[in-house]
Amino acid sequence: MASTQMASVGNAPTKNQTLLQWVNRCARMTQPDRIVWCDGSEEEKKRLTEQAVKEGILIPLNQEKRPGCYLHRSNPNDVARVEHLTFICTPNKTDAGPTNNWMDPEEAYTKLGQLFDGCMKGRTMYVVPYVMGPLGSPYAKIGVELTDSIYVALNMRIMTRMGKPALDMLGESEDFNRGLHSTGDVNPDRRYICHFPHDNTIWSFGSGYGGNVLLGKKCLALRIGSYLGREEGWMAEHMLILGVTNPEGVTTYVAAAFPSACGKTNFAMMIPPGEYKGWKVETVGDDIAWMRPGPDGRLYAINPEAGYFGVVPGTNNKTNPNAMATIAKDTLFTNVGLTPDGDVWWEGKDGEVPSELIDWQGKPWKPGNGEKAAHPNSRFTAPMTNNPAISSKANDPQGVPISAIIFGGRRSNTVPLVLQAFNWTHGVFLGATMGSETTAAATGKVGVVRRDPMAMLPFCGYHMGDYLQHWLDMQKSITHLPKIFQVNWFRQDKNGKFVWPGFGDNMRVLEWIVNRVQGRVPTQETLLGWVPRNGDINTKGLDISPDTMAEATSIKEDEWKAELKSQEVFFEQLGTKAPEALMLQRKLLISRLGS
Sign of CA dihedral 95, 101, 107, 111: negative
Question: So where are the chain's domains?
Answer: 4-58+82-233, 236-306+391-577, 308-386
Write down the pTM of the prediction. Answer: 0.95
Name, of 282-296, 537-551, 559-573, the range with top average pLDDT. 282-296
pLDDT over 70 at 448, yes or no:
no
- Alpha carbon 329 to its chain centroid, in Å, reads 22
CA distances from 68 to 109, 135, 212, 373 (A): 39, 25, 25, 22
What is the band of 362 on the pLDDT scale with cuts at 50, 70, 90?
A: very high
As a whole-number percent, the residues of the chain with pLDDT over 70 amount to: 96
Crossing angle of the two packed helices 464-474 and 424-432, in degrees rounded to 10: 160
**Any idea which fold 236-306+391-577 has?**
Phosphoenolpyruvate Carboxykinase; domain 3 (3.90.228)
Angle CA 547–553–557, to nearest 5 = 105
Sign of CA dihedral 32, 34, 38, 44: negative
Set 26, 194, 219, 262: catalytic member? 262
Reported residue count of the chain is 595
**Cβ atoms of 238 and 456 closer than 8 Å:** yes
**pLDDT of the residue at 595:** 57
Distance CA(262)–CA(387), nearest Å, equals 20
Q: What is the mean pLDDT of residues 478-501?
A: 95
Q: What is the mean pLDDT of residues 409-417?
A: 92
Residues 496-541: pLDDT tens digits? 999 999 999 999 999 999 999 999 999 999 999 999 999 999 999 9
**Cβ atoms of 447 and 438 closer than 8 Å:** yes
Distance CA(272)–CA(262), nearest Å, equals 19
Does domain 4-58+82-233 fall under CATH 3.40.449.10? My reply is yes
382-420 burial: b if 16+ Cβ within 10 Å, else e: bbbebbebbbebbbeeebbbbbbbbbbbbbbbbbbbbbb
What is the band of 5 on the pLDDT scale with cuts at 50, 70, 90?
A: very low
Q: What is the mean pLDDT of residues 122-136?
A: 97
pLDDT over 60 at 451, yes or no:
yes
Residues 208-220: pLDDT tens digits? 999 999 999 999 9
CA distances from 550 to 167, 406, 496 (A): 56, 21, 16
**Cβ atoms of 357 and 337 closer than 8 Å:** yes
| DSSP label of 504 | G
| DSSP label of 527 | S
Residues 51-104: pLDDT tens digits? 999 999 999 999 999 999 999 999 999 999 999 999 999 999 999 999 999 999
**Any idea which fold 308-386 has?**
Phosphoenolpyruvate Carboxykinase; domain 2 (2.170.8)
194 included as an active-site residue: no
Rg (C-alpha) for the chain, rounded Å, is: 24
pLDDT over 80 at 261, yes or no:
no
User: What's the whole-number average pLDDT of the chain?
Assistant: 94
Distance CA(264)–CA(256), nearest Å, equals 8
Q: What is the mean pLDDT of residues 254-279?
A: 92
What is the band of 303 on the pLDDT scale with cuts at 50, 70, 90?
A: very high
**Cβ atoms of 312 and 379 closer than 8 Å:** yes
Crossing angle of the two packed helices 17-30 and 105-116, in degrees rounded to 10: 60
**pLDDT of the residue at 294:** 97
Report which of 405, 363, 361, 595 is spatially closest to residue 510, judged by C-alpha positions.
405
**pLDDT of the residue at 6:** 38
**Cβ atoms of 527 and 557 closer than 8 Å:** yes
Sign of CA dihedral 572, 578, 584, 586: negative
**pLDDT of the residue at 391:** 98
**pLDDT of the residue at 228:** 98
**pLDDT of the residue at 447:** 58
How does strand 400-408 pair with strand 483-487?
Answer: parallel
pLDDT over 90 at 157, yes or no:
yes
Q: DSSP per residue over 326-352, as a string?
A: HTTSS-EEES-EE-TTS-EE-TT-SSP
Q: What is the mean pLDDT of residues 452-475?
A: 97
Residues 66-81: pLDDT tens digits? 999 999 999 999 999 9
Q: What is the mean pLDDT of residues 481-494?
A: 95
